[in-house]
Each structure stands twice: as structure tokens, then as C-alpha cells.
Amino acid sequence: MSHAPTGAAPEAQVPEWPMPRAAGCPFDPPPGLRELTAEKPLAKVRIWDGSAHWIVTGHAAQRALLSDPRVSVDERLPGFPHWNEGMAAGLAYRPRSVFNSDAPEHSRYRRIMTGPFTFKRVEALRPTIQKITDDLIDKMLAGPNPADLVEALALPLPTLMISELLGVPYEDHEFFQEYASRGIAHNVSAEESGRNFMALNEYLVRLVEQKAAEPADDALSDIAARVTAGDLTVPEAAMMGTGLLIAGHETSANMIGLATVALLEHPDQLAVLRDTDDPKVVAGAVEELLRYLGIIHGGQRRIAKEDIEIGGELIRAGEGIVVELFSANRDADVFPEPDLLDLHRANARHHNAFGFGIHQCVGQQFARVELQVVYGTLFRRIPTLRLAKSLDEIVFKHDRLAYGVYSLPVTWG
Amino acid sequence: MKVTVEQDRCVAAGQCAATAPDVFDQRDEDGVVVLLTDDPAAERADDARHAAAVCPALAIHIEE
Ligand code: HEM
């Protein structure tokens, strides 16, 4: 529901969010947002249903709010700034999960999910990730030239890995990719969102029941065992599986596709990766690309449970908060010359690309290993890699909650 | 230097184990932080400070 703005500007003058990026600057935040928050780390914007909310762009302000227990992700609270009509309508059927619960309930869900993603366990997957990456590159090089890098590598690698980790049959990938990508469009109607959710949910419910009956060595079987033990309901377990499946492949796929475009546009930076075999340099490059590329760009959604003073403004209890993580990664107070892609940047890993606070990404160490392997391999194995179309012919996912490229025609040799 | 951790607050993001693996580990079953030493050697002290700074749950405390 829309609610009265508290800032100085009358509601009609509050600018609309999301805002477009500038033509020809596919890697930079929208100029309108920069203008709006030039003086302060937060401002007011209007979202799809006409309601006004705070948008927060400053790095320090984001970290303060994201780790403040007065700031909630409880989407059932009145005034919550939902992503789109579909998400708002989904309140009726979406169970509790890490995504929409606060501490201490949040930690109950989170600790059921985190086991497979510890630093040691994901490091142990590195040889498998390397093998799949090499196989996919071999296959691409043996096939037609030019090729679509999204189809050849960016999408299948994370999809194969998350399928294997969760124990979801890879044969079903077209089905779940289709529903995953539909669910994250900016503009989803209530009916469509409901249909998407139900289709994925039914699929996961069946899988969870199957894993409970015949456990295998995978994460969904561990989750199913918690259902059998009475710690989780079947809908909660299915929601967990859906969340991991969607969060686990689309994001990494976008990071691979978008980073490749950015590096091909910055040959001096690409050379850093092409010419090194030092894992520290590669790891640093991954952090800088996470910082520089705004994969998660629509603003994470929160609501204030109490009045909060921040950045010279007062956020009142019940007001919505949109945390635009990408903008914080371009905050000049933290990152000197923030719009410069510099793979040797010393403090790149202070980015907010994985969020901050208790909801910070569950899969981040896993994503890091995937990206380290791909970035460390692709440009060394194909030093002549280049775009097969001009930059302005490439279609970016402006309309999606996760930014990236739909396809990426590349050529080599 | 004295390092303490609050396991109740930990969200198993793995940042500490990635930044200072000689000081922090994670429980196998859920990734919750395990402190390997509360008094890291001088050459590990910077890593430990760094880990405290990147912990998203503010669960690592350092007394100098
Ligand atoms: C480069 C790739 C990735 C990026 C940029 C990314 C980004 C993020 C961000 C920004 C959040 C915080 C959302 C918020 O606070 O509102 C998040 C949460 C989450 N991510 Fe990721 N993610 C990536 C990969 C993954 C992978 C591979 C997985 C799982 C296999 C995953 C699973 C999750 C889950 C379950 C949460 C919710 C955590 C919670 O609410 O406690 N992500 N991710």
C-alpha cells in the first residue's frame, strides 16, 4: 500500500525507481540515482505501486542499516517495498525462509543451508569446477566459431555445479532455468508470479519427498532429512531448495557473461588475467569484478521496525528501505576513482556485492571459486577471444533483478 | 592481541576462514565459526583484524 512520504518533497516529485542506466554506459549506475544521492547517502524514490521509500546508496550507511536489528526483511509488514506486483501477491503462499525472516528465526533456516558452502568444502570442489570449465571450453572451441559464450560456458557451468551440489537432475535444467529467469523480471504480474512459483515449488516438493525416501550424498537430501526429523515443513524445505537453485546459477552466470564483456572492453585489464598464474592475482581480480559489475542492481528490500537516524535523515518506523548495493561499490569515500576497473585494487573485497549483515550471501565462497576458475582459465586458454558483435548490439538485462547479458557472441583465432 | 567470537551471531558466510585460515575455521555441519587460536602469532594478526572487519555478522572481536 502506498503511504505518506516524510521527506521534504511532495510524493509527486519523488523520482521513480528503478531508473535507467545511461546509453553507452552499461557498467555504471543510473546517472539519475547518482544525482539524487550526490549530497547524502540516501534519498526518497517511488516504486511500481506509487509508494515512496528510502533508497540508500552510501557504503557506510548500507553496512550500518544491513547490520541493524531494527531493519527487517519481513515482507509481511505493511508498507514493505515489494519488488513487483508478483512478489507482493506472493505473500499469501510464500513460506518463511532466510529471504524473509529476521533473527533469531533467520538463523534456524540459515544453519540448515550453510553446511555445503563452507570455505573448505567449496575449495574441495575446485578440481571439479576446473574440469567442467575445461570441458566446456574444449567443446566450444570444437564447435562453430563464433559461439554464444552464455550458452557455451556462463550458464552451463554454474547450473551443472549447483545441480550436482543440490542433487537436482541436470536434465531438468531447461525447466528450472526458464522459471527462474521468469521469476526475476522487474515487471511480473500477480498471476504469472503465482504460476511460476507453483511450478517450481511442485517440482521441489516432489524432489524433497524423493530425497527423504531415498537419500543421496547431496544438499537436498540433507535438507530432506531435516523434514523427516521434524525441524522443517515440506513447503519450507522446498522453498530452501528453490532459493538455492535460483540464487545458485543465475548470479554466477551473469558474473561470467558480464565480466567477459567488461574485460574485452578493457584489454589492459584482461591482460592481467591472461598473463598470470598467481591465484592471489586471480582472487583479487574476482573481488574487483564483483565490485565493478552491478549484478545485483535493483536494490535489496527492507523495512524499518523503529525510527532510525542515519546520514542526516530520519527513517521512521514502518518506512521502506531500498538498499542499492551496486551504488555502494562505486562510493568514492571507500574506493578511490570508483568507476575505474582496476584488477589490482587493494581494498576491492570491501565491496557490498554479496550484501552485508546476517543475510550476506550463503553461496559467496562457492561463487568465488567458480569465478576464480573461469576468469583464471578462459583468457589464458583463448587469448584471441573477442566480441563477434559491437558493444551496442549486445542486449543487457536492464529489466531483470539480476543484471547481465542475455547472450554473448564471441569469436577467436 | 585477544580474539573472541560469538557463535550465536555467526551466519557462516565463511569470510573469516577465507581471510585468516590459521585463526578461524568453520564447523563441518553448519559452517559456524570455530576459533583456532585466541592469540594469533604476530604475522597472522593483520589477517585476524581483517577478518573481524569483513565479518558480516559482527561476530568477531579483537582486543589489542
Ligand atoms: C556471484 C554470484 C552471487 C552474487 C553476486 C550473490 C549476491 C547475493 C546478495 C547481494 C545477497 C544478499 C541479499 C540481501 O541481503 O537482501 C545474497 C543472498 C543469498 N545468496 Fe547469493 N549471490 C551469488 C551467488 C550465490 C550462490 C552460488 C548461492 C547458492 C548456491 C547463493 C545463495 C544465496 C542465498 C541462499 C542468499 C540468502 C541469504 C540470507 O538471506 O540469509 N548466492 N546473494
Q: What is the pLDDT of residue A185?
A: 62
Is residue A1 a part of any domain in this protein? no
Q: What is the pLDDT of residue A136?
A: 98
Do A162 and A406 contact (CB within 8 A), yes or no?
Answer: no
Q: Count of CB atoms within 10 A of residue A168's CB? A: 24
> DSSP readout, A72-120?
E--TTSTT---SSHHHHHGGGTPPP-GGG--TTHHHHHHHHHSGGGSHH
Is residue A263 a part of any domain in this protein? yes
C-alpha cell at A336: 578511490
C-alpha cell at A299: 536494490
Burial of A338 by CB count in 10 Å (0-12 exposed, 13-18 middle, 19+ buried)? Answer: buried
Domain ranges of chain B: 2-63
Q: What is the pTM of this model?
A: 0.95
The number of the ligand 1 atom at minimal distance from the alpha carbon of A99 is: 40
To probe the interface with B, which of A358, A359, A361 has the most B CB atoms within 10 Å?
Answer: A358
Do A132 and A155 contact (CB within 8 A), yes or no?
Answer: no
Are A67 and B57 in contact (CB < 8 Å)? yes
B41 touches chain A (CB under 8 A): no
Residues 6+ apart with CB under 8 A from A227: A208, A212, A233, A234, A237
Cα B45 from chain centroid (whole Å): 11
At residue A136, the 3 state secondary structure works out as: helix
Supply the ipTM of this predicted assembly: 0.97
CATH code where residue A24 lies: 1.10.630.10
Domain B2-63, what architecture?
2-Layer Sandwich (3.30)
Q: What is the pLDDT of residue A314?
A: 98
At residue B14, the 3 state secondary structure works out as: coil
CA distance A245 to A237: 12
Q: How far is A376 from chain B (nearest CA, A)?
A: 19
Is residue A218 a part of any domain in this protein? yes
Residues of B in contact with A369 (CB under 8 A): none
Residues spanned by the domain of A284: 6-411
Q: How far is B17 from chain A (nearest CA, A)?
A: 6
Q: Count of CB atoms within 10 A of residue A46's CB? A: 18
Residue to probe by mutation, ligand 1, list A293, A300, A352, A364, most atoms within 8 Å of CB: A364
Domains held by chain A: number = 1
CA distance A220 to A166: 5
Q: Count of CB atoms within 10 A of residue A19's CB? A: 18
Are A115 and B21 in contact (CB < 8 Å)? no
Burial of A187 by CB count in 10 Å (0-12 exposed, 13-18 middle, 19+ buried)? Answer: exposed
Q: What is the pLDDT of residue A192?
A: 82
Amino acid at site A307? D
Task: Give the closest residue to A50 by CA, choosing from A76, A75, A8, A82.
Answer: A82
Question: A251 CA distance to ligand 1 centroid (A)?
Answer: 8
Tell me the pLDDT tens digit for each residue of B11-51: 999 999 999 999 999 999 999 999 999 999 999 999 999 99
Do A255 and A367 contact (CB within 8 A), yes or no?
Answer: yes
Sign of CA pseudo-dihedral B9, B11, B15, B21: positive
Sign of CA pseudo-dihedral B10, A55, A331, A284: positive
Is residue A80 a part of any domain in this protein? yes
pLDDT in tens, chain A (413 residues): 344 444 445 556 899 999 999 999 999 999 999 999 999 999 999 999 999 999 999 999 999 999 999 999 999 999 999 999 988 998 888 999 999 999 999 999 999 999 999 999 999 999 999 999 999 999 999 999 999 999 999 999 999 999 999 999 989 998 888 877 766 666 778 888 888 888 889 999 999 999 999 999 999 999 999 999 999 999 999 999 999 998 888 899 999 999 999 999 999 999 999 999 999 999 999 999 999 998 999 999 999 999 999 999 999 999 999 999 999 999 999 999 999 999 999 999 999 999 999 999 999 999 999 999 999 999 999 999 999 999 999 999 998 888 999 999 999 99
H and E: helices and strands count for chain A: 16, 10
